[in-house]
């Protein structure tokens, strides 16, 4: 019984996890979409706070917005390409092109407002 509960908990937690991008899938995942990419590091406490806010925003965000994550330690080339030097950083993409970067923790209202102003 404990194993079943544990498996259920893992499946629920993974349902709210955002897909990680890498050099192989980056271009194909963002092309033709409105995308927010969270550049983060596992050792970054503010990144964890922003992740919680992104999970809350994910519940209310429009269907035409997709959220992905990039671990800066695992993907240094993508991180360098977009000039990420401070964490946490969100980069907003429209049809494969970076259109805005926001640095720091943002509230759900700020995430919603930024997405509305960028993607509408």
14 located within any domain: no
**Would you say residue 7 has pLDDT above 50?**
no
Domain coverage including residue 67: 19-119
30 located within any domain: yes
Q: What is the CATH number of the domain that holds 109?
A: 3.40.30.10
Number of domains in the chain: 1
d(CA 47, CA 73): 13
Work out the average pLDDT over 74-102.
97
Single pTM value for the model? 0.85
11 pLDDT band (50/70/90 cuts)? Answer: very low
Q: How many residues does the chain have?
A: 120
Tell me the pLDDT tens digit for each residue of 20-68. 999 999 999 999 999 999 999 999 999 999 999 999 999 999 999 999 9
d(CA 18, CA 102): 18
**Catalytic residues, which ones?**
44, 47
* pLDDT for residue 8: 42
Burial class (CB in 10 A: 0-12, 13-18, 19+), 76: exposed
62 located within any domain: yes
106 located within any domain: yes
5 located within any domain: no
**Are 88 and 40 contacting, i.e. CB atoms less than 8 angstroms apart?**
yes
């Amino acid at each position: 019984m404990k194993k079943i509960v544990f498996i259920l908990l893992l499946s629920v937690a993974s349902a709210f996890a955002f897909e990680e991008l890498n050099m192989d899938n980056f271009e194909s995942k963002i092309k033709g979409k409105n995308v927010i990419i969270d550049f983060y590091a596992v050792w970054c406490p503010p990144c964890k706070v922003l992740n919680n806010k992104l999970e809350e925003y994910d519940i209310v965000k429009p269907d035409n917005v997709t959220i992905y994550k990039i671990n800066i330690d695992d993907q240094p080339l993508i991180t360098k390409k977009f000039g990420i030097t401070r964490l946490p950083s969100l980069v907003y993409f429209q049809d494969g092109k970076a259109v805005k970067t926001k640095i720091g923790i943002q509230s759900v209202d700020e995430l919603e407002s930024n997405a509305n102003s960028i993607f509408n």
